């Protein structure tokens, strides 16, 4: 069984997933403490399963994680049934008011300016970092704009989010847990202030829409926090992992020069997914792909393993930016399917378009540095030249 903290595994987890898939669709994983689904069919069944849900359990000791637990207990992602339905309808309703279309020209302009900054860095120093200049900057600016987050909270957002999401890793350690709670407390305070401000001065932003939808104060904080975190963490890593994949396959980078961007975006999400693991808890005794899951126990879907399943994808380990049949699970499936998928697709396409037109000779300048995390798979640095 793989070790999610092993550096060799993190560098390339896909051979280990292939070995597991060959042995069967679901396996017990002693160190994760849950069984893991590794085939596309088993992961799909798990995400769609009506007998399985996202059942939130407070981080313990609860007194030490008051703000972290408040954010998650009230987030639509961690709810099921009526509250999930109600909050999801409020967020979907707000998105349907045309925010993604409204932001499109602004997103394209921003991606262009950031790639110009990257080009200026390369011209000045010989190389520049795709993560710092483009991948981390673009999604944070976009989601902060969408929710109308002002400075200085806008600049603090990435730090808060990075600190909080380490709690989703299998074994974050005491220090990272304490940092996650401190970040959560600052985040909650900032969001309460923002919500109060929007109550008095409504604007064009999504927080104003959520205030108008009448959801309660804690739910508003939890849902705004989810949007701000889910709305950028994965997108940062799709751009980073995706550009790395393209630069490791220069022939595919050349194909992308004239290929449609839609299929390329889907392929980058499939080839090296930014989110590797999602859990569900059985609400009654049930099974996934024949594996018994008693009521109250957890089971995980390994999206990276599903993404390379040869039962579903032809030549699964090949990067093919023109791939036509690509039913990847990168945005999830079922009732929790990603609400931000259209926005994420727009952002990744805008970043790729700016890169291919403004820096067609893009190449790796040095080996990238990987973040030492399994669930949120991404890079710390990606030095490029042109």
**Which among 107-115, 307-315, 324-332, 366-374 is the span making contact with ligand HEM, rule CB under 6 A?**
324-332
DSSP track, 41-95: HHHHHHHH-TTEE------SSGGGGHHHHHHHHTSGGG--HHHHHHHHHHHHHHH
Q: Degrees (nearest 5) of the Cα angle 94, 107, 269?
A: 85
Residues 77-116 that bind ligand HEM (CB under 6 A): 77, 88, 91
Nearest CB to ligand HEM, comparing residues 181 and 347:
347
55 contributes a contact to ligand HEM by CB under 6 A:
no
* Residue range at the interface with ligand HEM (CB under 6 A); choices 31-39, 233-241, 284-292, 377-385: 233-241
Position 275 contacts ligand HEM (CB under 6 A): yes
* 69, 184, 208, 235: which one binds ligand HEM (CB under 6 A): 235
∠ CA 280-317-303 to the nearest 5 degrees? 10
Q: How is the beta sheet containing 363-364 ordered, strand by strand? A: 128-129, 383-385, 363-364
* Residue 222 interacting with ligand HEM (CB under 6 A): no
Residue 47 near ligand HEM by CB under 6 A? yes
Stretch that binds ligand HEM, among 8-16, 107-115, 240-248, 268-276 (CB under 6 A): 268-276
State yes or no: residue 234 binds ligand HEM (CB under 6 A).
Answer: yes
Q: Choose which of 330, 368, 378, 383 interacts with ligand HEM (CB under 6 A).
A: 330
Contact 329, 47 (CB under 8 A): yes
Residues between 128 and 157 with contacts to ligand HEM, criterion CB under 6 A: 143
The answer to whether 194 contacts ligand HEM (rule: CB under 6 A) is: no
Q: How many CB atoms lie within 10 A of CB 105?
A: 10
Check binding of 278 to ligand HEM (CB under 6 A).
yes
Phi-psi region of 356 (alpha: psi -120 to 50; beta: other; left: phi over 0): alpha
Contact 268, 241 (CB under 8 A): yes
Q: How far is the CB of 126 from ligand HEM (least distance, A)?
A: 30
Q: Min. distance of Cβ 280 from ligand HEM in angstroms?
A: 8
DSSP element (H, E) containing 192: helix 174-200
Q: Is 55 left (phi over 0), alpha (psi -120 to 50) or beta?
A: beta
Judge contact between 46 and 288, C-beta under 8 A.
Answer: yes
Contact status: 304 vs ligand HEM (CB under 6 A): no
Binding footprint of ligand HEM on the chain (CB under 6 A): 47, 54, 76-77, 88, 91, 143, 226-227, 230-231, 234-235, 238, 269, 274-275, 278, 330-332, 336, 338-340, 343-344
């Amino acid at each position: 069984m793989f070790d999610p903290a092993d550096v060799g595994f993190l560098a390339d987890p896909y051979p280990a997933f292939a070995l597991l898939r060959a042995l069967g669709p679901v396996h017990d994983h002693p160190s994760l403490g849950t069984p893991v689904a590794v085939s596309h069919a088993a992961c799909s069944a798990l995400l769609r399963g009506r007998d399985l849900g996202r059942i939130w359990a407070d981080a313990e000791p609860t007194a030490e994680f008051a703000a972290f637990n408040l954010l998650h207990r009230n987030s639509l992602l961690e709810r099921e049934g009526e509250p999930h339905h109600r909050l999801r309808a409020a967020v979907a309703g707000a998105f349907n008011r045309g925010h993604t279309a409204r932001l499109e020209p602004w997103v394209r302009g921003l991606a262009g300016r950031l790639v110009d900054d990257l080009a200026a860095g390369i011209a000045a120093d010989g190389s520049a970092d795709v993560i710092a200049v483009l991948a981390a900057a673009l999604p944070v600016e976009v989601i902060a704009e969408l929710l109308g987050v002002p400075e200085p909270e806008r600049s603090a957002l990435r730090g808060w989010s990075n600190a909080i999401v380490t709690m989703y890793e299998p074994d974050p350690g005491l220090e990272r847990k304490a940092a996650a709670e401190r970040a959560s407390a600052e985040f909650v305070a900032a969001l309460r202030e923002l919500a109060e401000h929007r109550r008095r001065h409504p604007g064009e932003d999504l927080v104003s829409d959520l205030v108008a939808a009448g959801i309660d104060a804690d739910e508003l904080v939890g849902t705004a926090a989810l949007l701000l975190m889910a709305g950028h963490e994965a997108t940062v890593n799709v751009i980073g992992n995706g550009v790395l994949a393209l630069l490791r396959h220069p022939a595919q980078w050349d194909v992308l020069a004239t290929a449609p961007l839609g299929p390329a975006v889907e392929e980058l999400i499939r080839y090296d997914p930014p989110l590797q693991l999602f859990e569900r808890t059985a609400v009654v005794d049930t099974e996934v792909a024949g594996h018994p899951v008693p009521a109250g126990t957890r089971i995980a879907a390994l999206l990276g393993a599903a993404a390379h399943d040869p039962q579903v994808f032809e030549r699964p380990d090949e990067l093919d930016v023109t791939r036509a049949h690509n039913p990847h699970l990168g945005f999830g499936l079922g009732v929790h399917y990603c609400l931000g998928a259209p926005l994420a697709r727009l952002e990744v396409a805008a970043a790729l378009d700016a890169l291919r037109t403004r820096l067609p000779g893009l190449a790796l300048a040095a080996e990238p540095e990987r973040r030492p995390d399994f669930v949120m798979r991404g890079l710390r640095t990606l030095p490029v030249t042109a």
